[in-house]
Amino acid sequence: MYRDNTCGELRLADAGKEVRLAGWVQRIRKMGGMTFVDVRDRYGITQVVFGQDIDAVLADKANRLGREFVVQVTGTVRERSSKNPSLPTGDIEVIAGGLEVLNRSDVPPFTIEDNTDGGDDLRMKYRYLDLRRPAVRKNLELRHRMAFEIRRYLDANGFLEVETPILVKSTPEGARDFVVPSRMNPGEFYALPQSPQLFKQLLMVSGFDRYFQIAKCFRDEDLRADRQPEFTQIDCEMSFVEQEDVIRMFEGLVKHIFKYVKGMDFPDAFPRITWQEAMTRYGSDKPDIRFGMEFVDFTDLAKGNGFAVADDAEIVVGICAPGCAEYTRKQIDELTEFVKRPQIGAKGLMWVKFGPDGEVKSSIGKFYTPEQLADWGRRADAKAGDLLLVMAGDNAMKTRKQLCELRLEMGERLGFRDREVFAPLWVVDFPLFEWDDETQRYYAMHHPFTAPNPEDIPLLKSDTGRVRATAYDIVVNGTELGGGSIRIHDSELQDQMFELLGFTPERAQEQFGFLMNAFRYGAPPHGGLALGFDRFVSMLAGLDTIRDTIAFPKNNSGRDVMNESPSPIESAQLEELRLELRPADDKGK
């Protein structure tokens, strides 16, 4: 055996014990005639001491060690004279009696420490080294523990884990598919699944009334900090349920994981708000409710005073930033530039200060009297020392979304977005459809199998845009942790849904015929939910990005810079697949 103890388990009770350790050299320190070597493995670090009295062969081996050498050490455990309270093994050290170099190492391109000197690109190129860092390893250990606990919870509640196919049929609605050519079926393609949606519905038709899978999914979409081209979701489906049953089950799972990982209890039911309420109060369907600063509509107070920006606007809406009347002109100018950034796109920002002495100052003071602006303050429940930040726009929804970005920025600046505070809620009653001006047609906001609210079924043809979905998202701290819906299980209603989405009967049959045919054989009422597993882990680990919860992630261009994928394939492979490539144009397309 190379080792009979790990580098993280020896304690004072082991003093006097003869041990064998194996691991990587973390650091080397020389003091006088002694050499101190920190040996690291997945479990921790142990200090090994090469004393002055060792033989020449052992001393020579110790002097030739370098960072990240793989070594085996034999020796005796003793109490350290200078203890290190930051290490679990900090009360002991091993007096070396033997050393074998199992493998040498080049000098690594960055330090293998929590506070490394490696940038993101460098660490991703050498990800196998980055994974040696305790901070990254702990994230993957958390992921492992959460996966096991999720499985335990779902198993205890009667769910059966079933694997669904990875090579599936392309259904080009929603995000782009990754497609895979079929050698045995020339000119035809598989797609990698964006979710197991259709197969889990088929499992409900099959009588597997409680299914789950920690499923790998794929979407060919632009990337952000919380997105990867391949990601993992906790995918679940239940039969003979209504919305309340699904919400109750998975609220229980989320509470269970918070308790398991963070020791947090949520004794009360998570709050619920409708999609319309979320957009009106926060400008977002995934609001961060850890803090207030809810939107206040000033439209009626702003119009009619000769201020064209307000008079021509569809909406004038703002937030009250507590204690911010002391903001300087420079600070307010910074906020104005923030909302003008291209990714937000606002034209400007108005402000009203309520001084501690009752004085009212404003960027729009030439159009409104102090008494009128005081009315704005009363509507916003502003106190002395507060600051109103107000935006106007000719599209109410767009303006609310812009103000949402400002609200989150102010929440960050004022310290209201503490990562150790968690505020979950459910957002319900989403619109079933969303209208696209470019194509002049409705699209499913979630997917074509989401059931309409039973009360709204009469509106499907007469007032399509007002139909609500039986859909629900769970949101934590401004992040959509997951979502789901009750599904359509009636063939006639599903046909009506396809018609409203612009599918001809032939196209619907071509893309989804296997599901519709299955519904002819007795589909039960069913619904489900999927939680973003990578997001859940990153949230509980306190990370800004999901990349460090994934062993081998892609960068923001969808590339793996370590194994250099995606990459060209050989001409022989293209010929075998009967594919031809055409050169990219000047724009890289």
pLDDT band at 322 (very low <50, low <70, confident <90, very high): very high
Name the residue among 395, 309, 385, 400 with its Cα closest to residue 353: 385
**Predicted pLDDT at 123:** 94
Domain 291-413 superfamily per CATH:
GAD-like domain (3.30.1360.30)
In CATH, the number for domain 12-103 is 2.40.50.140
- Element spanning 149, H or E: helix 134-156
The predicted pLDDT at position 582 comes to 87
Question: What's residue 440's pLDDT?
Answer: 82
Among 228-232, 315-319, 383-387, 502-506, name the one with the lowest average pLDDT.
502-506
Question: Mutual orientation of helices 243-262 and 134-156 as an angle, nearest 10°?
Answer: 140
Provide the strand spans (E) within 61-143. 70-79, 92-103
> For residue range 511-530, what is the model confidence (pLDDT) as tens digits?
888 998 999 999 999 999 99
Map 182-205 to HEC letters. Answer: CCCCCCCEEECCCCCHHHHHHHHH
C-alpha 149/C-alpha 170 separation (Å) is 33
- pLDDT at position 175 is 78
pLDDT of the residue at 589: 57
Q: Which fold has domain 137-273+423-572?
A: BirA Bifunctional Protein; domain 2 (3.30.930)
The residue written with tokens 């499985």 in the block is 151
Could you tell me the pLDDT band of residue 308, with boundaries at 50, 70 and 90? very high
- Render pLDDT for 59-87 as a digit per residue (tens, 0 to 9): 999 999 999 999 999 999 999 999 999 99
For residue 235, what are the β-bridge partners?
213, 530
Peptide bond into 448 cis (omega under 30): no
The per-residue pLDDT for range 468-506, each reduced to its tens digit, is 999 999 999 999 999 999 999 998 899 999 999 888 999
**What are the DSSP calls for 493-538, one per residue?**
HHHHHHHHTT--HHHHHHHHHHHHHHHTTTPPPEEEEEEEHHHHHH
Higher pLDDT, 28 or 223: 28
Residue range 423-450, pLDDT digits in tens: 999 999 999 999 888 888 888 888 899 9
DSSP string covering 352-412: EEE-TTS-EEETTTTTS-HHHHHHHHHHTT--TT-EEEEEEESSHHHHHHHHHHHHHHHHH
**pLDDT at residue 34 above 90?**
yes
User: 141-171: per-residue pLDDT in tens?
Assistant: 999 999 999 999 999 999 999 999 999 998 7
- What single string gives the DSSP state of each residue in 259-317? HHHH-----SPPPEEEHHHHHHHHSSSS---SS----EE-HHHHTTSS-HHHHT-SEEE
pLDDT band at 173 (very low <50, low <70, confident <90, very high): low
Minimal CA–CA distance to 316: which of 379, 361, 274? 379
Q: Calculate the alpha carbon distances from 229 to 80, 156, 273, 438, 550 in Å.
A: 49, 32, 31, 26, 12
138 Cβ neighbours under 8 A, 6+ residues apart:
541
**What is the amino acid identity at position 234?**
I
**pLDDT tens, residue by residue, 543-565:** 988 999 999 999 888 899 999 99
* DSSP 8-state symbol, 548: G
Predicted confidence band at 249 (pLDDT cuts at 50, 70, 90)?
Answer: very high
- Are 553 and 547 contacting, i.e. CB atoms less than 8 angstroms apart? yes
Q: What is the pLDDT of residue 62?
A: 95
Distance separating alpha carbons of residues 206 and 188, to the nearest angstrom: 28
Looking at residue 560, what is its pLDDT? 92
Are 75 and 98 spatial neighbours (Cβ–Cβ below 8 Å)?
Answer: yes
Percent with pLDDT over 90 in the chain: 85
Q: What is the mean pLDDT of the chain?
A: 94
Instruction: Domain ranges for the chain, please list them.
Output: 12-103, 137-273+423-572, 291-413
Largest CA distance in the chain: 94
> What mean pLDDT is predicted for residues 213-217?
97
Q: Looking at the chain, how many residues does it have? A: 589
Q: Which pairing describes strands 230-239 and 526-532: parallel, antiparallel, or unpaired?
A: antiparallel
